[in-house]
Amino acid sequence: MGVRIKSTGIARDTDTFSIVELSGRAARRAMESAGVEPGQVGVMINAGIFRDSNTVEPAVSALIQKAAGIGLDYVKEDPRSFSFDLMNAGTSVLNAVQVAQAVLATGSAEHVLIVSGDTHPSMTRAAADDEFPYATAGAALLLEQSDQPEGFGRVHTRAAAGAPGLESYVDTETMGDRGRGLMTVEREPDYLDRLLMVAADAARAALAGGDAEETTTALIAATPSDDFPARLAEELGIAPDAVLLPDLSQGDPHTASLSLAYHAAAQAESLTGYRDVLFVAAGAGPSAAAVVYRLPAVVGAAA
């Protein structure tokens, strides 16, 4: 018995760079793919970090909830839905999985929807560059409780000592009245090496906590660099062809990376032959989270 992915949805449309709109579209596509009505989503968690115009208030989750059409009616008999932001750098999506597991275990919600994605605060571009290393994309995971031996296991988290390695902030003194559209990102030279070590530590803990085997386990990992998942696979003894990636043509999708990769793999039927997926999220801290996901008999994804 566990929490499984019922369906996924993504949005990399080119008519907007708003992460509110793209995450809302991804959420709607995940629900439509599964035949789930908005009223059946009890909780929506936004795991994105970089948002439209550096929005602080209201919670971005509320804006995405509205864009997704969830909980818009206020009639007394209507089902209740609520949403919130969960921001913990690159590990946010798996932290949201932890929360979803707790919520669904109580039976207080039929479905939990996790949305993720980031955009340049100026909303003028989608591709990453040296100054802002994150690509614009929206993604959604629709989760439900299952009475079958499938779904997410225990999420294991790790954090390294010392400096965070990567910092993103709005320097209001320097930016002046342009602060709504700018973000400063600073990365230490050894950041990726330090991140790899903490990610491998979390992944080993997840693998040791279950009965996953390298030969039947696919790896979906964070993509702070194009070769990071491959480097992590080598550390863990996972075959290179078991590494499943999102579309990295525009750079690192950051918080959407895991969901995008799973969606692409489900669409391409690349999960056939695997029993488990090892999800490894990693980011500023340096910090990491990892979990083994036992694949359902039928894997669903949205177009």
111 and 198 assigned to the same domain: no
Cα torsion angle, 171, 174, 176, 178, sign: negative
Q: Indicate whether 303 belongs to any domain.
A: no
pLDDT in tens, 31-64: 999 999 999 999 999 999 988 887 878 899 999 9
**Phi, psi for residue 117 in degrees, rounded to 5:** 150, 160
Q: Indicate whether 98 belongs to any domain.
A: yes
110 and 32 assigned to the same domain: yes
Q: Domain count for the chain, please give it.
A: 2
139 and 168 assigned to the same domain: no
| pLDDT above 70 (res 115) | yes
The pLDDT assigned to 258 comes to 98
| pLDDT above 50 (res 23) | yes
Which tokens sit at 24? Answer: 């809302």
- Long-range (24+ apart) CB contacts under 8 A made by 161-168 are 162/194, 163/188, 164/284, 164/285, 164/286, 165/190, 165/191, 165/194, 165/195, 165/284, 165/285, 165/286, 166/89, 166/191, 166/283, 166/284, 166/286, 167/284, 168/49, 168/50, 168/284
**Quick check: 253 and 135 in contact, CB under 8 A?**
yes
Give the range with max mean pLDDT: 1-5, 103-107, 288-292: 288-292
Last residue of a domain, one of 98, 130, 150: 150
The pLDDT assigned to 75 comes to 64
> What number is the average pLDDT over the span 81-108?
94
Q: Which domain holds residue 262?
A: 156-294
Q: Which residues pair with 152 in a beta bridge?
A: 293
173 and 265 assigned to the same domain: yes
pLDDT in tens, 122-165: 888 899 888 889 999 999 999 999 988 899 999 999 999 888 88
| Residue 172: CATH number of its domain | 3.40.47.10
167 and 144 assigned to the same domain: no
48 and 129 assigned to the same domain: yes
Amino acid at 186: E
> What number is the average pLDDT over the span 208-214?
71
Last residue of a domain, one of 128, 150, 172: 150
- What pTM value is reported for the model? 0.93
25 and 65 assigned to the same domain: yes
